[in-house]
A = this chain, B = another copy of it.
Amino acid sequence: MNSKTINHIYKQLVSKLEERSRLGGVMATMHWDQEVIMPKGAVDNRSKQMAALAGVLHEKSIDSDFGRLIDKLVNADPVNFTEVEQCNINEAKREYDLETQIPKELIQEIAELSSRGHQIWTKAREENKFEDFAPTLERLIFLKKKWARFAFPDLDPYDANIDIYERGMRVEYLTPIFDKLKKELIPFISAIKNSSFSPDTDFLKGNFPIEKQKTLGTIISKDIGFDYDKGRMDVSVHPFCGGGHPTDVRITTRYQSENFIESLFAVIHETGHGLYEQGRMSGFLDLPVSESLTMAIHESQSLFWERMIAQSLYFCDYYRDLFMKTFPDKLKGISLDRFYRAINKCEPSFIRVEADEVTYPIHIIIRYEIEKDLFNERIKVKNLPNIWNDKMEEYFGIRPKSDSEGLLQDVHWSGGAFGYFPSYTLGAMYACQFYSKMLLDINDIPKKIKAGNFLCVKKWLNDNIHQKGRLYSTDNLILNVTGNKLDPVYFIDYLKRKYSEIYKL
């Protein structure tokens, strides 16, 4: 093929990819609508509408014309393509292979069981009956192992499941990292627990009018760079970042009048996700090259803003006046120091989503170790309640009184999402490692945050991460940006320094 022909074929691929991206954007907008807007009587109908659209997307994804275009481009001389073009071709191939290599019946069985599994899990959690959920969990693991052999025949099945969320990540690489976290954090958490100091958090409970919380969240999300001309903020049961396009990014939060911190931090967290989406490389917004790299990199962006920035002393310092002006009844007279310690309280607890940044990784490691052993058949589903509770006791010194506050707490497994959990803690580690580098790249970050100058922070993340899309593997991105591969030491040092100071260890 001459380069003109190749160029023509590439253009055909681009329009197919763009069409898919646009239909995917419609799907995402409908999903947002379902969670935020839709009247409750429309539930049944909506699931049928979503299924019809998913069917169209699937037809487009396995279209043999699409496959032929990809084949021709994959076999063409790479010299014909720019870095961006090559990335789009590789991404198209990965997706096409994934869509076509799995038998249709297997996809359907997983989809159906995931949907049914959600209902079964909801009921089992309500009634605190793990045994009602156990057969579904067992079957889902069986199916996702089978899936793995079709999807990534060269990978160990658990690695294959991880690869969907965190491309290139392997158990072999992750286990030593998590072991190091355990080794360092478990005794550190214990020291915190035994510390004579405990932050006073009473003033964070009270009556914080929701309208005021909303105004506060809007101001702060704008300050840190969320563009409301290309996005919205609304309310949903679980906060998330959705929307159908980088020009239409929709974050959500939820409000409780007795607690403003939870809602505000959800806004900041989702804003971090939103900035990644709004910051994607223009010119390629409907092509895979501009998409977010992995779940963990996405999470690194939300955690960056939530933890490295919003939970810092400097951020509290800058917004102290606004907080006090917004909620004078509760916050007037509270010193910066008291406020900062209160929002950074650390304590082992049963529920992952409520955990602080020091104990959170341990929650993840428990799930990771269990998933790994389930996939390797070193443990059995029926023994999970004891295994879970023993680990909680070993790592945290606390034991759940029920499975509902133990291994039934998370939705993930009921939908067949195994290998997802590590992304959360990988994200936390990436965020920390990025921050270390940012401190070297930009003068006086603390001073800038203290002055409410967040633009330089956002720009650094835009330039170094958001704009890179899928051009590099995660390993290479981390190496390019920070000069090092992923190293848990950044994260461990950060936690130890910060919390030793807070807990006066």
Residues of A within 8 A of B (CB): 18-19, 22-23, 25-26, 29-30, 33, 37-42, 44-46, 48-49, 51-53, 55-56, 227-232, 244-245, 247-248, 285-286
Residues of B within 8 A of A48 (CB): 18, 22, 286
A52 and B23 contacting across the interface, CB-CB below 8 Å: yes
Cβ-neighbour of A247 out of B37, B44, B229 (below 8 A): B44
Within 8 Å by CB of A230, from B30, B37, B39, B286, lies B39
On whether A45 and B247 interact (CB within 8 A), knowing A52-B23, A56-B23, the answer reads yes
In the complex the two chains form, is B45's CB within 8 Å of A25's CB?
yes
Cβ–Cβ < 8 Å partners of A29 in chain B: 30, 33, 49
Docked complex Cα distance between A40 and B230 (Å): 7
Given A40-B229, A41-B248, A245-B42 in contact, is the A49-B33 Cβ separation under 8 Å? no
A49 and B245 in contact (CB under 8 A), knowing A37-B37, A41-B227? yes
Please, could you name 21 A-B residue pairs with CB atoms under 8 Å apart, sorted by A?
A: A22-B53, A23-B56, A25-B45, A25-B49, A26-B26, A26-B53, A30-B30, A33-B33, A39-B229, A39-B231, A39-B232, A41-B227, A41-B229, A42-B247, A42-B248, A44-B247, A45-B244, A45-B245, A45-B285, A46-B245, A56-B56
Contact A26 B19 (CB under 8 A): no
Contacts of A55 in B (CB 8 A): 19
Q: How far is the CB of A59 from chain B (nearest CB, A)?
A: 9
Partner pick for A248 among B39, B245, B248, B285, CB 8 A cutoff = B39
CA distance A55 to B16 in the complex (A): 12
Is B53 in contact with A23, judged by CB distance below 8 angstroms?
A: yes
Q: Is the CB of A248 within 8 A of B45?
A: yes
How far is it, in angstroms, between the C-alpha of A45 and the C-alpha of B42 when the chains are bound? 27
Residues of B within 8 A of A56 (CB): 23, 56
Q: Which 5 A-B pairs have the closest CB atoms?
A: A42-B248, A41-B230, A22-B52, A41-B229, A45-B245
Residues of B near A23 (CB, < 8 A) are 49, 52-53, 56
Q: What residues of B have a CB within 8 angstroms of the CB of A19 in the complex? A: 52, 55
Q: How far is the CA of A53 from the CA of B55 in the complex (A)?
A: 13
A26 close to B22 (CB less than 8 A): no
Chain B: which residue is nearest A59 at the CB level? B56
Known A22-B52, A42-B247; 16 more pairs at CB < 8 Å: A22-B45, A22-B49, A23-B56, A25-B49, A26-B49, A26-B53, A38-B248, A39-B232, A41-B248, A42-B230, A42-B245, A44-B247, A45-B245, A45-B285, A46-B245, A48-B286
Most buried by B among A38, A52, A230, A232: A52
A30: which B residues are within 8 A, CB to CB?
A: 26, 29-30
Docked-complex contact A232 and B37, CB < 8 angstroms: yes
Chain B residues with CB below 8 A from A52, complex form: 19, 22-23, 26
> What's the Cα separation between A265 and B59 when bound, in Å?
46
Nearest CB of chain B from residue A42's CB, rounded to whole Å? 4
- Once the chains are docked, how many angstroms separate the CA of A22 from the CA of B230? 28
In the complex, chain B residues whose CB is within 8 Å of the CB of A286: 48
- Assembled-state Cα–Cα distance A46/B22 (Å): 9
Bound form: Cα–Cα A23–B48 in Å: 10
State the CA gap A55–B60 with chains docked (Å).
12
Q: For the complex, what is the distance from the CA of A85 to the CA of B285, rounded to whole Å?
A: 45
Q: In the complex, A55→B248 CA distance in Å?
A: 22
User: A244, B37: Cβ atoms under 8 Å?
Assistant: no
- Say how far A320's CB is from chain B's closest CB, in angstroms: 31
A41 and B53 alpha carbons, distance in the complex (Å): 25
Alpha-carbon distance between A25 and B46 when the two chains are bound, in angstroms: 9
Residue of B nearest to A48 (CB): B22
A41 near B244 with CB under 8 A, answer: no
Q: How far is the CA of A285 from the CA of B56 in the complex (A)?
A: 21
**Distance of A18 Cα from B44 Cα, bound (Å):** 14
Could you tell me the distance in whole angstroms from the C-beta of A243 to the nearest C-beta in chain B? Answer: 8
Please name the residue on chain B nearest to A231 by beta carbon: B39
